[in-house]
Amino acid sequence: MKIKDIVRILEAEILCGEKYLEREILDFAACDLLSDILAYSKEDYLLLTGLTSLQVVRTAELTGAIGIVFVRGKLPPQETIGLARSHHIPLLKTDELMFNSCRKIVEELIKEESRWK
């Protein structure tokens, strides 16, 4: 699954990083606790979160996230978008709640899987 698929599935708005939508997502993290992301995430993952502070981008960059989705329709401050832009991390925004975002992605993953079988 690519980031551009997420844009479609979650009807997301692209806040920055249009160039990087072809990136392949290898893992997902849905989390509002940065400490947990630092402890458990894997490389090349997509982060879904309700946090919009600068530290989200810092954490994402350091742990090797390839993109961030802000759920619950939250718009990050300009500082956050600026930092993401300078670290080449695409930012998406969706009005879906966290649980629903995850559900939609999982449903799509299952569809994808059955297509391969």
Partner 1 sequence: MKPHYSRERLTLVNELIYEIKVKDAMSREVIFFDEKATFREIQLKLKEKRMSGVPILDEHKNIVGIVSIDDIITAFDKNYIDDKITNYMTREVITVPQNFSVVYAIRKLEQSGVGRLPVTESANSKKVVGVITMSDILNKLLVEVQSVAEKVKEEEAKNGEISDKIIQKVTKKPLRFEVKGDDFDSAGRVASITKKYFQNLKVPTEIVRRIAIVCYEAEMNICLHSFGGYIVVEVNEHNEVVISAYDRGPGIPDLELALTPGFTTASEKIRALGFGAGMGLPNIKHCADKFEIKSSLKTGTFLKAIISLGEENETK
For the CB of residue 31, give the shortest distance to partner 1 in the complex, in Å.
Answer: 9
What does the binding site for partner 1 look like in residue numbers (CB under 8 A)? 32-36, 38-39, 43, 49, 51, 53-56, 58-59, 61-64, 78-79, 82-83, 85-87
Angle subtended at Cα 1 by Cα 49 and Cα 96, rounded to the nearest 5 degrees: 35
Cβ-proximal residues to 87 (8 Å cutoff; 6+ apart), any chain: 57, 61
- Of 55 and 107, the one with the shorter C-beta distance to partner 1 is 55
- Of 58 and 104, the one with the shorter C-beta distance to partner 1 is 58
Q: Which residues pair with 28 in a beta bridge?
A: 46
**Rounded to an integer, what distance in angstroms lies between the CA atom of residue 28 and that of residue 48?**
8
- Of 89 and 105, the one with the shorter C-beta distance to partner 1 is 89
For the CB of residue 77, give the shortest distance to partner 1 in the complex, in Å.
Answer: 9
- Of 7 and 70, the one with the shorter C-beta distance to partner 1 is 70
For the CB of residue 111, give the shortest distance to partner 1 in the complex, in Å.
Answer: 30
Give the chain's length: 117
17 close to 81: Cβ distance less than 8 angstroms: no
